[in-house]
Chain A
Amino acid sequence: MKTLKFLIEKEFKQMFRNPLIPRLIVMFPTMVLLVFPWAVSFEVKNIKIDVVDHGKSIYSKRLTDKVAASKYFILNDTPLDYQTAMLNMENGKTDMILEIPASFDKDIVKSQTSTVGVAVNSVNGTQGLLGSNYIMQIVNDFSSEIRGELINTLPPQSRATIMNMPRVDIVPQYKYNPELDYKNFMIPGFMVLLLTILCGILPAQNIVMEKENGTIQQINVTPISKINFILAKLIPYWAVGLVVMIISVTLAYVIYGLWPAGNVIAVLFSAIVFILSVSGLGIIISNYSETMQQASFLVMFFILILVLLGGMFTPVSGMPAWAQTIAAVNPFNYLTKTFRMLYLNGSTLADVSNNLFALGIIAVVLNGWAVFSYKKRG
């Protein structure tokens, strides 16, 4: 125990004497939480749209105005024909085309139905999909508006038949994130990202640094046990991770007003279990690398896998089976789920215990491997 304490003390001394790392630990979460939640958003806004209005009538004008007034669209142009609009899209001036037929008004008045054409530039799939959804919503709104107005113009008997026709309205309730604020969803993800980067990269470089400086030789000829040595490497990153978490949770509250709906202690506790597993991964990488360059590349490679297959940006359930298999052993995935549950759903420690259990197993396996792969002699 005395040796372990002294080893940890040494790690902390080295960490604080490094001119960069203590600042990094504070600056990095601050920057990430200040900047990224605003920038990384899947909400699609300001889609440029061309409206080709063949009808040039009151109703088509109303539809055009409604589209232009939407926060999702910017009315780029109202060309006379579809070809001009298409040319605009090819030149990148517009993203969508809404084509209103010449018979729009007549159709609406006569048969209470009409069609509009929509063409979307789907190079960016998300924008294409969301854009066409938004326009459908607008058109639907518009049609129920008109329906309400026109119903009064009908003869009473047919009015009654229409009134008696069954009608289904969908009224969505947005649970756990009522404002549909994308930031609320992403901030817990960013916290996991921060922990992964700091508590993954720093340990990965640590043992390699001892190798490059030759100090590992001096350590290896001492009777110190492998477990003590690895533990002394891991424990300081708990502290680092906790500091990062405290900064992150505070910033999320102060800047975005986001506080865990569940227990804040549960957030910190799950972070600790997670840190153990990513730091273990870092140390394994460190053990297998001979130079800082190798370690840096390897750790970047793994972090990319952890993040992209970790359900932060895209839901795991939408991934192919093989990717879901990877996600099942991906600590990033478990903590992202846990944090979102704790932050948004108001889950308790008991609710997330399955995730924590999985994280615990991953941590035990990775750290066992870390101890095993550290060779005191070649």
Chain B
Amino acid sequence: MIEVKDLHKSYGKSGKINALNGISFNVNDGDIFGVIGPDGAGKSTLFRILASLIMPDSGTAIMNGYDVVKDYRKIRQIIGYMPGRFSLYQDLSVEENLKFFATLFDTTIEENYHLIKDIYQQIEPFKNRRAGALSGGMKQKLALSCALIHKPEILILDEPTTGVDPVSRKEFWDMLARLKEQGIIILVSTAYMDEASRCDRIALIREGELIASNTPQGIIDDYSDILWAVEGSRMSAILRELRKYEKIKTSFAFGDKIHITVDESLQIGELKQYLINRDFRDVGINPIEPTVEDCFIALTN
């Protein structure tokens, strides 16, 4: 159980840069909790506070009963932290890194091998290779193994999938799902909205403020606009035309489609006719279910 209440943190000489502006949320036992927001939203600051690396200006965070400010020694026993940047010793080998972190927590690889077995087995063939010489995906697996080796109650993963290829990303989330079965609370931040569905609950944050906290489905259910996807061959020209149309509230390029929210009175045929009149003959318009990203955009507008 993690209870975060009204966390504030600002940087700079006179506190000019507000990184966190009153964040509160709760995480239930055994959940994968996703903190989702664009770069600069304050995700890393939040996680560094929870990992007891920096102190908040105000507010409290209680993790499994321990306060991150007062009981920081205890916090360090029960958390596993994996920073966004690869931060293991590049000049030590895979096995040496793992053994090193196990020793710092006064445990051994053998003792908690069952926890990391799934993950570590994939890099074990390279255990004598220096960590600096591993590929990105392997580095990430090693970092996760090192964060897990002392059997933490809470795992804090700061943007673990940034810069990782789609296949490895999927693999990584599968690993997290298996860890969840061990009863570890997993806090994970990401800038990729499509990863939200892999979490039990998510918090959307932007500019240091929480804009929504719910299950991914709950967030989608709260979405009240009518959402259509428009596709065609000249996307940017279509987008320009759509933005001129007064019955369309918002329009955003979304991969190879344009997502638009529209006034209730607008019919698909009407919009299609409008575009055909402007010489866009091959357009397709379909109502769609919103994604978390649509919700994020709607909530931040």
Contact = CB atoms under 8 A, between A and B. Distances in A.
B87 A3 contact: no
Contact of A217 (B72, B73, B83): B83
B149 to A, nearest CB: 11
Given A6-B103, A10-B92, A14-B91, A218 B53 contact: no
16 contacts: A3-B106, A10-B96, A13-B92, A14-B89, A14-B91, A17-B91, A17-B130, A213-B89, A217-B81, A218-B83, A218-B87, A218-B88, A219-B104, A224-B104, A377-B53, A377-B72
**A interface secondary structure, majority:** helix
Interface of B: 51-55, 72-73, 76-77, 79, 81, 83, 85-92, 96, 100-101, 103-106, 130, 146
Contacts of B106: 2-3, 223
A334 B85 CA distance: 45
Contact of B73 (A2, A215, A223): A223
B158 to A, nearest CB: 10
Interface in A5-41: 6-7, 10, 13-14, 17-18
Given A13-B96, A18-B91, A378 B85 contact: no
A2 B100 CA distance: 11
A6, A7, A218 — most chain B CB neighbours (10 Å): A218
A11 B215 CA distance: 46
B55 A378 contact: yes
Contact of B77 (A2, A214, A223, A378): A223
A213 B91 CA distance: 11
Nearest to B86: A214
A6, A213, A378 — most chain B CB neighbours (10 Å): A213
Given A217-B53, A217-B81, A377-B52, A222 B104 contact: yes
A206 B92 CA distance: 15
A216 B85 CA distance: 12
A10, A219, A220, A221 — most chain B CB neighbours (10 Å): A221
A377 B81 CA distance: 14
Contacts of A7: 104
Interface of A: 2-3, 6-7, 10, 13-14, 17-18, 213-224, 376-378
B76 A221 contact: yes
A221 B90 contact: no
Contacts of B105: 222-223
Contacts of A10: 89, 92, 96, 100
Given A6-B103, A13-B92, A213-B89, 16 more contacts: A10-B89, A13-B91, A14-B89, A14-B92, A214-B83, A214-B85, A218-B81, A218-B146, A221-B53, A222-B76, A222-B101, A222-B105, A223-B106, A377-B54, A378-B54, A378-B55
**B interface secondary structure, majority:** loop
B66 to A, nearest CB: 13
B147 to A, nearest CB: 8
A213 B83 CA distance: 12
Closest 10 CB pairs of A and B: A214-B87, A222-B104, A6-B103, A221-B81, A17-B91, A378-B54, A223-B76, A214-B85, A217-B83, A215-B87
A180 B52 CA distance: 62
Contacts of A222: 76, 101, 104-105
A223 B90 CA distance: 22
A201 to B, nearest CB: 19
Contacts of A378: 53-55
A214 B158 CA distance: 13
A307 B122 CA distance: 54
Contacts of B89: 10, 14, 213, 215
Contacts of B83: 214, 217-218
B104 A215 contact: no
A297 to B, nearest CB: 22
A241 to B, nearest CB: 22
A216 B105 CA distance: 15
A217 B103 CA distance: 17
Contacts of A218: 81, 83, 87-88, 101, 146
Contact of B104 (A3, A18, A214): A3
Contacts of A216: 87
A376 B83 CA distance: 15
A52 to B, nearest CB: 69
A354 to B, nearest CB: 41
B156 to A, nearest CB: 9
Nearest to B100: A10
Nearest to B85: A214
B50 to A, nearest CB: 10
